[in-house]
Amino acid sequence: MHDSARTRSLNISTKLGMLVFSVILGLVLIAVAMLISEQKILRTERENAVRQTVEVAHGIVNRYHDLSSKGLITEAEAKQQAMQAVKTLHYNGSEYFWINDMHPRMVMHPNSPALDGTDLTENRDPNGVRLFVEFVNLVKARGAGLVAYAWPKPGSDKPVPKISYVKGFAQWQWVIGSGVYVETVEAMILARSANVAIGSVVLIVILLGIGLLIARSVARPITHAVRIAETIAGGGLMSHIPVDTDNESGKLMQALKSMNESLAQIVGNMRGSTGAIATASRQMAADNLDLSSRTEEQASSLEQTAASMEQLTATVKQNSENARQASDLAMSASNVAAKGGSVVSQVVETMDSINGSSRQIADIIGVIDGIAF
């Protein structure tokens, strides 16, 4: 997950470079695999070539054997002529054939005639391999095959690795052999490896050039698009955006151009709307100022009203206290009135009595006056 996030964070040029590097690495691996395969194929080809040449030499010996079998020549003449024919055979310039018997003794060696007739049983290479004994044992076991050992090259006394193919000629108890020096094969492999390496380097250089061109062709429009996007993000909507291709880069630039035009149109519409909003805002500001003034006046009136309410509350409290006192006075007055009513009744009764007495007095006075007159 972390590696995936890290890969996504790389820029396009780096990703394309990684792609080109992967292709080059793949080519190198393929070239190495081809060289290894070429080495195996070349060795197999050389081994097959040696086997075929030995088969040719074997056929020549067999032809002379047939001549002696038919009585055309004696067996000794046939052997002598066969050895001479094989001795003169060469291929690849310096490659040769030899013949030893099953003892083993050297029958014929074209480059080392001193070995002819020599017992080779204890002949060993630097690694201790009794090579001629190995030849005989291989022929006895399978009739023919390959043997690896060390043997000096012509004109040299230093043994070097060699692979030989030997095949038995049972009629005369001969072993016919020829070999190829490993360093010769390695020299051919090295030459072919050099050719492959040169070809690989040329191909890698070509791929690098193509990769750089592709990276530039991909990264440059994207970089340009990023700069245009940054300009648009910064408010620059008047940029000229060229669209000169129909590929993905052209589609990207076309999309940016369309986005720029749409944003410019939106901004233009927003500017018109902004003017109306500004006018409405100024009107709202004036209304807010008027509302604020009236609010201040109402706040002052409310303060006065609050003060009046406080006075009214005090008055109501005072009136309530006065009403309570008036109620108490009314109760007292009621009691006094009740008592006054009783007194008035008594007064009335007294007045009635007084009036009655007055009338009597009047009557008496009248009587008296009457008497007086």
Whole-number Å distance between alpha carbons of 99 and 81: 13
Per-residue pLDDT of the chain (373 residues; tens, 9 = 90+): 455 566 666 666 677 777 777 878 887 888 788 778 877 888 888 889 999 999 999 999 999 999 999 999 999 999 999 999 999 999 887 889 999 999 999 999 998 899 999 999 999 999 999 999 999 999 999 999 999 999 988 778 889 999 999 999 999 999 999 998 888 777 777 887 788 788 878 888 887 888 778 777 766 766 766 677 777 776 666 666 666 666 666 676 677 677 766 776 676 677 676 666 667 667 776 776 776 677 677 757 656 766 666 775 666 577 667 657 756 655 765 565 566 556 546 644 645 654 555 465 456 445 445 544 4
What predicted TM-score, i.e. pTM, was given to this entire model?
0.52
Q: Are 132 and 115 in contact, with CB atoms under 8 Å apart? A: no
Eight-class DSSP state of 73: S
Domains detected in the chain: 2-206 (3.30.450.20)
The helix/strand/coil state of 160 is strand
| Distance between start and end Cα atoms, the chain | 158
CA distances from 300 to 287, 292, 294, 295, 308 (A): 20, 12, 10, 9, 12
Q: Can you spell out the DSSP letters for 175-244?
A: EEEEEEEHHHHHHHHHHHHHHHHHHHHHHHHHHHHHHHHHHHHHHHHHHHHHHHHHHHHTT---------
The structure tokens listed for 189 are 């492999």
Sign (positive or negative) of CA dihedral 125, 147, 132, 158? negative
